[in-house]
Chain A
C-alpha cells in the first residue's frame, strides 16, 4: 500500500527564516495531496493541497511543489512567524481502492523562535 514519508521530523528556526518540508510517496495511483497543520493541543487543519496534474501551488507564504516523476513534494514556508509553530502533515489520496483514502506522513514538527 501507499507509504508517505516526511523529512525532517523536526525543525527549529528563528522568526523570519524560510523552511522546507519534504514529503515522498510510493504509489503512482495517488492523485491528490492535501497538507494539514496541527497546532499544539489542537485539531488538524487543512492548509494547502495540490493535484497530480500540477507542479506548483501558492497560498500566501506557503508554496507547494510537486514532482510526479520522483514522487516528491516540498512545502516551502517563507517569513516564518511564531504562529507557524505546529506539526505539519503531508498526505496522499489513494484512488487505488474503490472509494479511496488518505495516507498520512508521520509529521514535521516546526518550532519558530521569536
Chain B
C-alpha cells in the first residue's frame, strides 16, 4: 500500500524554538515536496527535493531549510520558529511516469508557534 507518513501530527512550540518535521515514503519516489496550507491560500510550495541531496527552493523558502539524506526521508527544519509559521504542513512525493506527476500526500502536521 503506497504511503506517505508524517511525524509528528501535532506540535506546539514557543517562538524561537527549533522545529523538525519528518516525512517518509515507501514508494521509492525520487521527488519529494514540502508545502504549507493556510486558509484561503491553498498550498504554498516551500521546498522540492529531486533526490538525495538535490534540493531546490519553492515559492516561500525563507525561514525554512530541508534535509534529504535517504530517498525515503525528507525533513523540514525551522530554525528559531516564528508565530507566522503556524500552519498545516504537508509533505508529498511523486514519480515522473509517462509525463504525469501525480503527487501522494502525507496526513499533515499541525504546527502552532506561540
Contact = CB atoms under 8 A, between A and B. Distances in A.
Interface of A: 9, 31-32, 34, 36, 42-46, 49, 51, 89, 93, 99-102, 104-107
Given A105-B42, A106-B40, A106-B41, A34 B103 contact: yes
A44 B90 contact: yes
Given A42-B107, A44-B90, A34 B42 contact: no
B99 A102 contact: no
Interface residues of B, number: 23
Given A106-B40, A107-B42, A100 B105 contact: no
23 contacts: A32-B99, A32-B100, A34-B103, A36-B103, A42-B107, A43-B4, A43-B105, A44-B92, A45-B105, A46-B102, A46-B104, A49-B100, A49-B102, A51-B100, A89-B43, A99-B50, A100-B96, A101-B48, A102-B101, A102-B103, A104-B42, A104-B43, A105-B42
